[in-house]
Structure 1
């Protein structure tokens, strides 16, 4: 891994776009997916959470590691389209107390969701105690407050912190500083809006041990900013730019055991916030077919209980290594 960041060349937005593959075919009248999963709620109960993956225009921020653009449109949707997608999904999902509305971008980007649509969206969400949406820190303002006031439940905004590593964060093309992230958290908390954050495990340019170390530091930074929930996401290939960096020798996917290690470190002492490991497609990060199922189950149990579980015993090579 790179040690001298002064010699590192940042990929430009144009280069990130050039390295992409093709998008999937999606429709502006339908969400591209919707699911129900269990999650430990803020009250400590394990509850069902419905997630609707909305089809929307592409995010204007071209983050280096992002692959969410694959299920987006090249144009803005018509007014009322997002409410129609939400209605379509909720009619087909079982009832839950919590709802996530993820639009592969920023909920409060007016080009993605017109403010005039907030009232209808809020009415559709009236049965939920919590409504989680995703947003860039730069777009956290009065529109967030406006939606929160319309909701019967509480609004929670999920933001990508990614990493607090001082050299790596600027290389991710995130167009965000740690100061801006902290300011957004302060604003949201002051307006009674809950905050969750996304943290990357082993982003490009970091080794395995560094990846664990900086993921833990980033989680602690988020908590200090008032974040009540942190999701740790193993950095994945699949968007073109990350594969290019792998070819250059500055990216290697993290190990599944490293995801375990991050949770173990953070959960050593009781916390006022929750930390979850993202297990979507996480089997790909294991090098051992014998213990991958047990490791996935262990991580899931730590997510749900927020306590360290008995370790998985295996003679495989699931060890921290660069």
Structure 2
């Protein structure tokens, strides 16, 4: 499916400028040191933590692996944590074509590169939809699936409305600080504190390669929404334990979506609501998310094989 680069990938351009923040995580803390090629596209990833069992994190649409940064230190105490940027996102390469099968290939190739034969698969938003497809297509690779506030809809549903970008051109800002200041969580929600959002915003921007200034890292030529019917078909084939976690104040997982999830996900799925959380609960309800995954660490000890045993 791909091959592993033998040398660490080059540090992103202008990284020195990005490391000047006085407080909190620096950009160097977010940098992904390793690369695997998937159909010729570089996918950046990292492995950390002292646990004997694997946990892999899949970010959402137009996002990047840094969305998980607040959870990472605690997860590393219990798990071997695998994180990466999907193609078209973060520091991974861009393609001419994207889709759920492409992103699933990114995921599986990263797992192959790090020798992970079974993991707890954790996805936020679109990442949860990718997790559903990956879990259905590769059931032996995962001991369980956690979906954090992922939209599930019946087959044939019209696509959700998304804010569009100017066609055929990248959005540019004069400086890194101006670009990062324009960062907003989507869908809109009460923003966590500036200290929480700043590292995520700073990692989301890069120097423009087309002209002077700064722009977003995600592929602005157009990232498609996931094929909903492909996701729906996968739900019926899931055989691993599934945890569907809803944010109580989410604008993505409505009561209607939650009701469909209960009907479509396999019998035995565990449904959890974090009452006061919004869609980006991995940022604004970090402690609650960590408590859930801590409970799962004990529950899955018998079903997620230690990575060192192959």
TM-score range relative to shorter protein: 0.3 to 0.5
* Higher RCO (CA 8 Å, separation ≥ 6 residues): 2
TM-score by length of 2: 0.35
Larger radius of gyration: 1
